[in-house]
Structure 1
Amino acid sequence: MLTIGIDVGGTSVRAGVVDADGAVLDTTRTATPGDERALEEAIGGAVHELAERHEVAAVGLAVAGFVASDRRTVMFAPHLAWRHAPVAERISERVGMPVVLEHDANAAALAEHRFGAARGAGVAVLVAVGTGIGGALLIDGEVFRGAHGVAPELGHLRLVPDGRPCPCGKSGCWERYCSGTALSSTAVELLAKHPGVSTVLAREARGDARAITGRRVAGAARDGDPLAQRAVADLARWLGEGLALVADVYDPEVVVVGGGVSESATLFLDDAREHYASVVTGAGHRPLARIRTAQLGDDAGLVGVATLARDLAVGATQSPGGRLG
């Protein structure tokens, strides 16, 4: 049985056909529209495109936002247009297949626990570093959702009082200092203070500051640009700071760092580990969590939610009457 997993992020909508072994057989991607109707049309278009090439049974959406515990409704998404929206019902009507929702970090954590870096871990945390930060907690392979289905929202822990404003409505959130967006913001701030340090980035910023994306900063850091390397070092410090806080609260066996920014982990993860180990409570007198990069990379969210969609489809076919809901 093949299913479609769709990672609905603040920047792009990425859909893939996934088999029972977690292999992604085919993908399509589009930019994330800014309003509900256009977003749902984009998702429907991605499903129809893939369904023309493969026989698929169900669809899962990995959403960067608060998903209700019934996994049918998006309550709030800082980077998306949905607010208390019955997304599963709407998309199901649009594509003619059963649809399940999951928080994108939960979906990625489930995929890493079943197929990747957290396999076999009793207590595992996933930190998905992309446009923002998503978080997930697994206990014996089960997602911990909290009382209302929204835990743990790690990216919006306030690390810096009166810090950078965040789309969630607060300021100083972890993801404002540790994400692809944060890497861009830090580089732009450094360019304003030190305009002569990075000739390449400074020239690009004069043309259009939006050209200084997190991906561009990471690329410049790889090429030895000193200002970009300073921005990456800042991200590494804040990643270590946040991981120490996560370890203080959850004491995980393993922390998996995923999301699009993890593709550049060789630039910052060793420094983040070192900072984490130095500031975690009881440093030097307690076991430390293993901090690993996601083995499934950018595919983790869509693989996890496609797996949930398969479980939904299989359960429906095995229920009395054998109907898919």
Structure 2
Amino acid sequence: MASSRDNAARIHHRGLVIGVDIGGTKVAAGVVTPGGRILARDRAETPDRSKSPKVVEDTIVEVVERLRRAYPVRAVGVGAAGFVDEQRATVLFAPHLSWRDEPLREALRSRIQLPVVVENDANAAAWAEARVGAGREAADTVVVNLGTGIGGAVVIGGELYRGRHGMAGEFGHMTVVPGGLRCECGNRGCWEQYASGNAVTREARELAAADSPVARGLIAAVAGTPSLITGSLVSELARSGDMACVELLEEAGGWLGLGLANLAAAFDPDLFVIGGGVSQSGELLLEPARRAFRRTLTGRGHRPEPRIVSAELGNEAGLIGAADLARDALPRWRQGRRQRRIGSAARIRGRSR
């Protein structure tokens, strides 16, 4: 009987790659095929996110080593929440982890002994959606992830656009209301203060705390404790027909559409893909977003409109994308290794003369 290693080796001549998705409290990983299928998964909690980067590094190595025991993987791709430099080697700043100018690629490569690519997690998720998800038939795709904040990425002509310093895609910090609500980034009026999961949660809690008659369903769902309201609860109640929650999602959708119109003016994509936890509200969020988008789109009525659709890959997009980006980097890594070997041989010959 063939082993899982034998079966996996037959899948594709390019082989298998491990994708890793790092969150604030967990590390999730999977063995990913070139077609984006996950053959095996592993997950570990990071003991304490306030500890040194070594804690997260150790956790990554643990899950990778467990997965590679059964599969002949050729590289590792890591998606990290934070700013990653243009070499895809160093995490310059991670807001939810204690990484500051952390040389993560070299640290992992020296321990795992495989090629490693480090990428911003939103870029990785966007790449997965563009390659094998909702954007697979589009040439130019903008992916917007609605979670605690708003992140995203741009794929232009089949290439991931990272910006000169690897920091493109911080859409959530576009100013949409000058002098508006204070954002954690220090500015006011950022888009994520109006269209993110946190924004929906904040508005719902304020409505319940005011003991508004329209919030009876929300108040009952949390037994009179507004601090227990979450964005997921708002979405759940909206799907069941609670009108206050429907209105909260409509308001967030309006802000979403406004921001998307700004992005359309900048990038003119074929498609917007909306991912993240809030996107699970589906058409309750997306239809108001489309209406607001059409109202504010530059040149409306005289230009093709990008479609606005939900992401398809869910929480696994990050690790699928990270794996695919690492696979794409393999030829460059092999070329660099050959050049290093040639250089070393030349130096040895030079010394022996």
TM-score normalised by L of structure 2:
0.81
* RMSD of aligned Cα (Å): 2.7
Match of 2:39 in 1: 25
Cα distance, 1:134 vs structure 2: 1.5
For 1:315 and 1:166, locate their aligned partners in 2 and report how far apart those are by CA, in whole Å.
Answer: 40
Distance in 2 separating the partners of 1:78 and 1:288: 35
Query: Taking structure 1 as reference, are residues 93 and 226 closer, same or farther at Cα in structure 2, changes over 3 Å only?
Result: farther
Distance 2:228 2:154 in 1: 35
Q: Give the partner amino acid of 1:225.
A: D
Question: Structure 2: where are the runs of 5+ without partners?
Answer: 1-14, 341-353
Q: How many Å separate the matches in 1 of 2:185 and 2:96?
A: 8
Partner of residue 260, structure 2: 243
**Residues 277-296 of structure 1 aligned to structure 2 (within 5 Å):** 277-296=294-313
How far does the alpha carbon of each residue in 1:124-165 deviate from its partner, in whole angstroms, 9 at most, with x for none?
Answer: 211122222212122211122222121132111122233333
Question: 1:262: how far off?
Answer: 2.3
Query: What is the match of residue 103 of structure 1?
Result: 120
- Inter-CA distance 210–8: structure 2 relative to 1 (3 Å threshold): farther
Return the structure number with greater relative CO, CA threshold 8 A, min gap 6: 1
Residue 226 of structure 1: aligned partner: 243
- Alignment match, 1:15: 29
Residue 193 and residue 241 in structure 1: after superposition, are their counterparts in 2 closer, same or farther (change >3 A)?
A: farther
Q: 1:133 to 1:281 in 2, by over 3 A?
A: same
Q: Which moved more, 1:216-225 or 1:233-242?
A: 216-225
Question: Distance between the aligned counterparts of 2:111 and 2:180, measured in 1?
Answer: 41
Compared with structure 1, are the counterparts of its residues 94 and 226 closer, same or farther at alpha carbon in structure 2 (3 Å cutoff)?
farther
Structural mapping, 1:100-249, within 5 Å: 100-203=117-220, 209-249=226-266
Counterpart-to-counterpart distance in 2, 1:184 and 1:12: 23
Relative to structure 1, is the Cα distance of residues 239 and 17 closer, same or farther in structure 2, using a 3 angstrom cutoff?
same
Moved more, 150-159 or 259-268: 259-268
How many residues are treated as equivalent by the alignment? 324
Deviation at 1:252, TM superposition (A): 1.3
Counterpart Cα distance in 1 of 2:227 and 2:62: 28
Kindly provide the CA deviation profile for residues 97-116 of structure 1, in whole angstroms up to 9, marking residues without a partner as x.
Answer: 33211122222222222223
Q: CA deviation at 1:295?
A: 2.6
Match of 2:290 in 1: 273
1:322 shift after superposition: 10
Task: Indicate the residue corresponding to 2:77 in structure 1.
Answer: 60
SS in 1 for 2:145: strand
Contact 1:78 1:168 in 2 (8 A): no
Q: Is the 8 A contact 1:316 1:322 kept in 2?
A: no
Larger mean CA deviation between 257-266 and 140-149 belongs to 257-266
Question: 2:212, 2:26 → 1: CA distance?
Answer: 31
Change (3 A) 1:266 1:29: farther
Query: What SS does structure 2 have at the residue aligned with 1:243?
Result: helix
Alignment partners' CA distance in 2, 1:135 and 1:196? 37
Q: Which residue of 5, 11, 19 maps to 1:5?
A: 19
Contact 2:200–2:252 at 8 Å: present in 1 too? yes
Cα deviation for residue 217 of structure 1 reads 1.6
Secondary structure of 2:177's counterpart equals coil
Deviation at 1:91, TM superposition (A): 3.0
Distance in 1 (alpha carbons) for counterparts of 2:99 and 2:224: 33
SS in 2 for 1:61: strand
Larger radius of gyration: 2
Counterpart in the other structure of 2:62: 45
> Structure 1 residues 49 and 110 mapped into 2: Cα distance closer, same or farther (>3 Å)?
same
TM-score by length of structure 1 reads: 0.88
Distance 2:278 2:217 in 1: 21
Q: Pick which of 167-176 and 248-257 moved more.
A: 167-176
Cα deviation 1:77-114 (Å, max 9, x = unaligned): 33433222112222334444332111222222222222
The whole-number CA distance in structure 2 between the counterparts of 1:320 and 1:30 is 32
- Post-superposition offset of 1:53: 4.4
CA distance in 1, matches of 2:25, 2:325: 23
Q: Which moved more, 1:214-223 or 1:196-205?
A: 196-205
1:17-62 alpha-carbon deviations (Å, 9 max, x no partner)? 2111110122234556344343334333332343344342322112
